[in-house]
Amino acid sequence: MGNVVNFAHRGSSKICPENTMAAFRKALEQGATGIETDVQLTKDGHMVLIHDETLNRTTTGTGWVKDHTLEELKELDAGSWFHPDFRGERLPQLDELLELAKGGGTIINIELKNGVVPYEGLEEKVIQRVRDYGLSGQVVISSFNHYSLLLCKQIAPEIRTGILYMEGLYEPWAYAGTLQADALHAYHRAVLPEFVAAAKAAGKAYHPFTVNDPDEMRRLLQAGVDGIITDYPDRLDALLAEEK
């Protein structure tokens, strides 16, 4: 199987509230070798980790992330929606996750959430912070906004990028080449063994998402993918241990 990256999707997001430090730490305890997260900008330009463009689902706040300052967001509870035991969890800043990864080998997959909201300067801010922490070799930047990924490569050719896409993209490994992208972050049902082989021949890695069923994990591992994005890093860790 080689060194398949076990990416915890928003951390261990079935055990802990997604995109919180509790979820990230739990993922590492469960055997994750990578962490996937989502980054957006506050009203005053700070980078926070949250999936939805609005606060309503995963915090005690309401409205758009972009309309709140960092200090306002720090006052919100990002854990009690999931379970009372997590009351008091806060929206983390990107710095906190990078600090957690510093000094270890954890791969950090940072998804730029700039499809619905075109955050100006998001690419530059993320890249600068990654470089500040000396983690260029441990980061993959992904996005459904492929213009953004091309810009990232132009700014920082040393940082890997992964194109997020759903089903039906024709020869995605060839398309990835036009963006200078390094990886294919495909919906898992759009990944076939012959696709993985063609991608490897083109020098592109496959990191399918979001794979929670053990049988589907096995199928993808047998196909030769380079990483799997999952809500259950413990399940994937167990399967990888079986294969050793």
Give me the active site residues, please. Answer: 9, 51
Q: Are 105 and 28 in contact (CB under 8 A)?
A: no
> Where do we find the tokens 């998402």?
209
Q: In Å, how far are 26, 34, 106, 192 from 101, measured between CA atoms?
A: 13, 9, 6, 32
Q: Which SS3 state, helix, strand or coil, does residue 230 take?
A: strand
CA 244 to chain CA mean position, Å: 26
Tell me the C-alpha distance between 140 and 88, whole Å. Answer: 30
Q: Are 165 and 187 in contact (CB under 8 A)?
A: yes
Q: Which two tokens stand for residue 108?
A: 């950090």
Q: Which SS3 state, helix, strand or coil, does residue 141 take?
A: strand
Helices marked H in 37-87 = 70-74
Tell me the C-alpha distance between 129 and 139, whole Å. Answer: 11
Tell me the C-alpha distance between 4 and 225, whole Å. Answer: 7
Tell me the C-alpha distance between 191 and 177, whole Å. Answer: 18
* Dihedral, 199, 203, 209, 215 alpha carbons, nearest 10: 60
